[in-house]
């Protein structure tokens, strides 16, 4: 169903900003990534979102398409980012049906609460494969198209006039801030996100000469998202929210606006950077993740029974 524009995009950006552009997004049915794609679609882009769950991905694509009359949004399910061949098939279909790939959002991720003692080797490996290997596979599958788009839409470095056909050749990796200071019960994700940050830096250096920009968006606590529901105790949300530097959690619109900034002319000379969108949250203690009673909670051996969205599978 159509959403109010104010819920996913500010009034800062002009309509048609991304006309005739195509965005490819992994994890596009998620709460944050779907808002990112919806904003781009509202501003003129067509899109392809991929995910493992067929029904969820196709439903999300139909919903995102309501952001603009005439928008084309493909939802390709049964895609496993851990498989390069699976992603390559989705990329080929995207280019065949939509004509190009100008922007990429690598947003597929896996997360759950677990201490190092609790998490198994296989569970740790699974997070590495989804987050790090998945991001690398996304890059490998799409980079030829990003290079082609970058060459078509290069900024004139002398006059600073943007290409008359707009921008292109840009990738955003969705990361986190968990590894900046260390976060209890998040060692697996912290290691994965640190790897993603390093990957983006290398992409910026190796493909910058070809016109491709690579950046990271690192969301903090974003309200009404799967991540917040998984990581923060539902009975302490109000207290944690009041403790934030800005006195509130972020919104998916905050992440979507940051995405537009990086993909539009405003981000033409921004590459190899980490754009933290968290209201300075990471600068305060991260021990509230999972429990505000650190380290007593850890030492007790208790589980996270009151955390909405807790994984049921054996770790």
Residues annotated catalytic, as ranges: 175, 193
Q: Is residue 252 within 8 Å of 31, Cβ to Cβ?
A: yes
Q: What is the 3-state secondary structure (H, E, C) of the chain?
A: CCCCHHHCCCCCCCCCCCCCCEEEEECCCCHHHHHHHHHHHHCCCEEEEECCCHHHHHHHHHHHHHHCCCCCEEEECCCCCCCHHHHHHHHHHHHHHHCCCCEEEECCCCCCCCCCCCCCHHHHHHHHHHHHHHHHHHHHHHHHHHHHHHHHCCCCCCCCCCCCCCCCCEEEEECCCHHHHCCCCCHHHHHHHHHHHHHHHHHHHHHHHHCCEEEEEEECCECCCHHHHHHCCHHHHHHHHHCCCCCCCECHHHHHHHHHHHHCHHHCCCCCEEEEECCCHHHCCCCCCCCCCCCHHHHHCCCCCCCCCCCCCCC
Dihedral of CA 173/255/180/269: which sign?
positive
Q: What's the CA gap between 101 and 271, in Å, rounded?
A: 19
């Amino acid at each position: 169903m159509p959403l109010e524009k104010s819920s996913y995009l500010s009034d800062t950006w002009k309509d048609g900003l991304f006309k005739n552009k195509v965005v490819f997004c992994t994890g596009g049915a998620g709460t944050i990534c779907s808002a990112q794609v919806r904003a781009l679609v509202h501003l003129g882009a067509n899109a392809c979102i991929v995910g493992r769950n067929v029904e969820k991905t196709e439903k999300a694509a139909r919903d995102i398409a309501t952001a603009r009359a005439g928008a084309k949004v493909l939802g390709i399910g049964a895609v496993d980012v851990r498989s390069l061949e699976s992603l390559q098939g989705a990329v080929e279909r995207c280019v065949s049906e939509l004509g190009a790939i100008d922007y990429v959002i690598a947003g597929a991720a896996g997360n759950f609460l677990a201490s190092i003692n609790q998490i198994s080797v296989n569970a740790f490996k699974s997070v590495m494969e989804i987050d790090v290997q998945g991001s690398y596979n996304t890059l490998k599958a799409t980079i030829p198209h990003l290079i082609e788009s970058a060459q078509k839409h290069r900024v004139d470095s002398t006059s600073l006039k943007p290409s008359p056909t707009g921008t292109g050749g840009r990738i955003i990796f969705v990361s986190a801030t968990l590894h900046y200071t260390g976060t209890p019960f998040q060692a697996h994700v912290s290691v994965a996100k640190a790897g993603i940050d390093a990957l983006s830096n290398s992409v910026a250096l190796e493909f910058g000469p070809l016109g491709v920009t690579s950046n990271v968006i690192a969301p903090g606590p974003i309200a009404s998202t799967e991540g917040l529901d998984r990581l923060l105790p539902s009975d302490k949300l109000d207290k944690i929210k009041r403790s934030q530097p800005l006195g509130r959690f972020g919104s998916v619109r905050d992440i979507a606006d940051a995405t537009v900034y990086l993909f539009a002319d405003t981000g033409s000379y921004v590459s190899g950077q980490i754009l933290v969108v968290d209201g300075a949250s990471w600068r305060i203690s991260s021990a509230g993740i999972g429990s505000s009673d650190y380290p007593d909670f850890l030492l007790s051996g208790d589980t996270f029974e009151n955390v909405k969205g807790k994984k049921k599978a054996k770790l």
